[in-house]
């Protein structure tokens, strides 16, 4: 059985759906704290029945996570507190979930005679302000690196710069996973993700900004852009992300103890302003936008260099951001025909 912690979330749901469609059994371990995830569970159960098992429990519950790990032949660890803003409001809970919760999972794995392989969902926030403002040119709709080398993206050799409690807690978890692979021989790898988007994502202003922008445009809501909107991210369609996670698992233990950047790369790099213009073309309506101050820890420019992942596994993105956004727009249009989106902030 495949264990997915945080499996009712956006990426976990898409990953569980793929595994179940291919005939596998999945144990979803989730405390259901994020708005909308109950819908994901219902959808999975309706599609796959007994292939989906659910344990509604918290990653901080040592006994429950140990019992879940005891059933697993492989593990994807996605359970997390996911918002920088929430970490600033409640750093202690953020640490307990992201750092201490990951350590509890690792200890449960270490107790197994033959630990199942683990892939951990980390974040590009570990790199902090990896590209400084003075390294960027400001253009009409985006920031662009002055140096050609930076335009190829940020690789895994970029020094870690932990900014915000969220960055610190995820950074601690990231390093614990890598060290448990080295010190205890647990087959494990780390995926430092950029912005993943696609169906089953219920975005908010705090996390999942691509889906939040699409949903707000469809519902005629005002979008708040923090900063000037020229900040750039490489965005990756969720099916490409699922492919990457499964490929990394399939290449264990050869790549155990390694870290991989996961994102859309330079070809899928887009600024907030450019995404809004794309949405205007899809919806035939100009999005309502207001601007506010920059937020703490917001990167002006982040684009992943995924060369290491490609060389290790053969992975590369296949869905362009224009095609992927159109698919997300289509899915959300249908979803909103029968549902409403939750707009509360991400809970701790």
- Residues belonging to the active site: 166
In angstroms, what CA-CA distances link 60 with 11, 28, 32, 81, 98?
A: 20, 15, 14, 12, 9
Q: Alpha-carbon distance 111 to 232, whole Å? A: 43
SS3 220: coil
Beta-bridge partner residues of 154: 304
- Residue 229, Ramachandran bin (φ over 0: left; ψ between -120 and 50: alpha; else beta): left
Which letter does DSSP use for residue 251 in this model?
A: T
Q: What is the DSSP letter of 108?
A: H
What CA–CA distances, in Å, run from 17 to 2, 21, 161, 336, 338? 12, 6, 35, 21, 22
Dist. CA 140–CA 158, nearest whole Å: 28
Q: What is the DSSP letter of 152?
A: T
Q: How far apart are the C-alpha atoms of 62 and 146, rounded to whole Å?
A: 48
């Amino acid at each position: 059985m495949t264990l997915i912690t945080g499996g009712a979330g956006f990426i976990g749901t898409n990953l569980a759906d793929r595994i179940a469609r291919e005939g596998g059994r999945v144990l979803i371990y989730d405390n259901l704290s994020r708005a909308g995830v109950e819908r994901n569970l219902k959808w999975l159960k309706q599609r796959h029945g007994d292939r989906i098992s659910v344990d509604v429990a918290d990653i901080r519950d040592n006994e429950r996570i140990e019992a879940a790990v005891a059933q697993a032949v492989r593990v994807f660890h996605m359970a997390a507190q996911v918002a920088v803003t929430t970490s600033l409001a409640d750093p202690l809970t953020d640490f307990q979930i992201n750092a201490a919760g990951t350590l509890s999972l690792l200890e449960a794995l270490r107790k197994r005679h033959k630990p199942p392989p683990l892939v951990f969902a980390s974040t590009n926030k570990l790199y902090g302000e990896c590209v400084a403002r003075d390294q960027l040119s400001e253009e009409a709709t985006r920031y662009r690196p002055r140096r050609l080398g930076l335009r190829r993206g940020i690789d895994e050799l970029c020094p870690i710069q932990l900014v915000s409690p969220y960055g610190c807690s995820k950074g601690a978890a990231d390093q614990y996973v890598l060290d448990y692979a080295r010190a205890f021989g647990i087959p494990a790898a780390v995926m430092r993700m950029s912005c993943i988007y696609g169906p089953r994502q219920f975005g908010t202003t705090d996390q999942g900004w691509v889906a939040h922008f699409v949903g707000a445009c469809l519902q005629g809501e005002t979008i708040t852009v923090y900063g000037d909107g020229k900040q750039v991210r490489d965005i990756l369609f969720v099916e490409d992300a699922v492919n990457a996670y499964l490929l990394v698992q399939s290449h264990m233990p050869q790549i155990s103890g390694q870290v991989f950047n996961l994102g859309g790369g330079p070809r899928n790099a887009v600024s907030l302003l450019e995404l809004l213009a794309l949405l205007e073309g899809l919806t035939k309506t100009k999005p309502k936008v207001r601007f506010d101050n920059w937020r703490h820890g917001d990167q002006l420019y982040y684009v992943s260099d995924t060369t290491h992942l490609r060389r290790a596994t053969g992975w590369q993105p296949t869905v362009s951001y224009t095609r992927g956004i159109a698919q997300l727009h289509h899915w959300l249009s249908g979803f909103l025909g029968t549902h409403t989106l939750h707009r509360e902030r991400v809970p701790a």
